[in-house]
Amino acid sequence: MPADPLSTDKPRPTRIPLAVYVLGLSVFALGTSEFMLSGILQPLARDLHVSIPKAGLLVSAFAVGMVVGAPALAAATLKLPRRTTLISLLAAFMLGQVAGAMASTYEVLFVSRVVSALACAGFWAVGAAVAVSLVPQNARARAMAIMVGGLSVANIAGVPAGSYLGQQAGWRSAFWAVAVLAAIGLIGVVALVPHTEVPTGADAPNLRRELRIYRDKQVWLALVTIALNAGAVFALFSYLAPLLTDVAGLPESQVPTVLGLFGVGGLVGTAIGGRVADAHLFGTMYGGIAASTVVLTLLAFLAEYRVAAIALALMLGVTAFTTAPALNARMFNVASAAPTLAGATTTASFNIGNTVGPWLGGLAISAHWGYQAVAWVGAAMAALGVLTTVIASRVHQRSRIVASSAHTPRPADPAPAHDAQRTEV
């Protein structure tokens, strides 16, 4: 039978389930809360009578809560239905935003940020595991790109809107707005995320079995690379508003626009990373982290020029978020035997960077090195991220060679000479 000229041998692209997009929508609310402080740092510091570096520690407080909460809540909820866990954590996050909006002192706000971060971390860890479980392995980066895309959209719309609200109606209004966003996300999760039963028997969740992933050095290399990449970005992003106003001379009213441009860059980067990372995982990691190193270095030199500072903020969003799908997919690949802890470890890794980066940036500012110093801190961390990616790539190649040789059948041993002679006789 002749071949149909209209037929094609190309496989049809994997369709991403609607539930993954719902999780991305929920991440939009979480990401807005996590990142919006960069746009309201100055009015918040003035209202609570604290310094800019001390106010910046609220970013680190959220990150610390994420670091602690991701593995702790992943382990605590391992045997619970994932949908129930997502609903509970998103509700707790919403209440944390309400508490932040009503905080009367810096200390109360600090605690509310940690509590909100714990819930956010658990949602991220379980949500990532759910997203990955709904698609085949060759679509993991695309699924994670959709979740990370929620962060990008948060930067495009949520963070600038929060900054605008903070300047026009007080910083507390931004927290109230995020509480409303969380409520909308909660409705979406309840309505559209499928209910799944907890596996039983041999497939039942087992914390001891999942903890074995930490014996693998590839998991630790992935963790360190993620943390360095995130720290490089947040060392700068946490202090981007004062850098733009005090160094580049940008009016405070224009800061939300630049934050929005960073988010546009993040959305572009996420789209690029989601498309190429499944096929070129290490190439995406190399290219994105190396490009971030260059962008941060240029920003350290050129931050006093408005056009350059704005353009480089946009480019940093592109480079930083290009790597995110690849970094997420890499962790799930090396820790595939423990998907829940893989998601928790990824979340913790990003937020270790989100904690260390602003802390090191704050130290540089407190040492009177100026706001441009945070770009140097970020560039140094990104350069280390390139190095760990090189090491991870080499370890990966060696493991593939070992695995290949283990599956190659050995040739039969030749018969001894005397046996051959005996056969011929």
Q: What is the DSSP string of 8-33?
A: --SPPPPPPPHHHHHHHHHHHHHHHH
CA–CA separation, 107 vs 55, rounded Å?
Answer: 11
Is 179 within 8 Å of 94 (Cβ atoms)? yes
Over its length of 425 residues, how does the chain's per-residue pLDDT go in tens digits?
444 444 444 445 567 778 888 888 888 888 888 777 777 877 888 888 888 778 877 877 787 777 777 777 777 777 777 788 889 999 999 988 998 888 888 888 888 888 888 888 888 778 877 777 777 767 767 777 777 677 667 766 777 777 778 778 888 888 898 898 888 888 888 887 777 666 565 556 666 777 777 787 888 888 899 999 989 988 888 788 888 888 888 887 788 788 778 878 888 887 888 777 767 778 888 888 999 999 999 999 998 898 999 999 899 989 988 888 788 778 877 776 676 677 777 777 887 887 788 889 888 888 888 888 899 999 999 999 999 988 888 887 887 776 666 555 555 545 444 444 333 32
Distance CA 323, CA 385 (A): 11
> Tokens representing 188?
């979406």
pLDDT at 295: 93
pLDDT at 112: 87
What tokens were used for 316? Answer: 């940093």
Please give the Cα distance from 14 to 8 (Å, whole number): 16
pLDDT of residue 6: 45
Q: What is the pTM of this model?
A: 0.68
pLDDT at 103: 85
Angle between helices 18-35 and 52-76 (to 10 degrees): 150
Question: Of the candidates 33, 34, 39, 31, which has an alpha carbon nearest to the alpha carbon of residue 240?
Answer: 39
Give the whole-angstrom CA distance, residue 347 versus residue 226.
Answer: 9
The per-residue pLDDT for 248 is: 85
pLDDT at residue number 106: 87
CA distance 123 to 291: 30
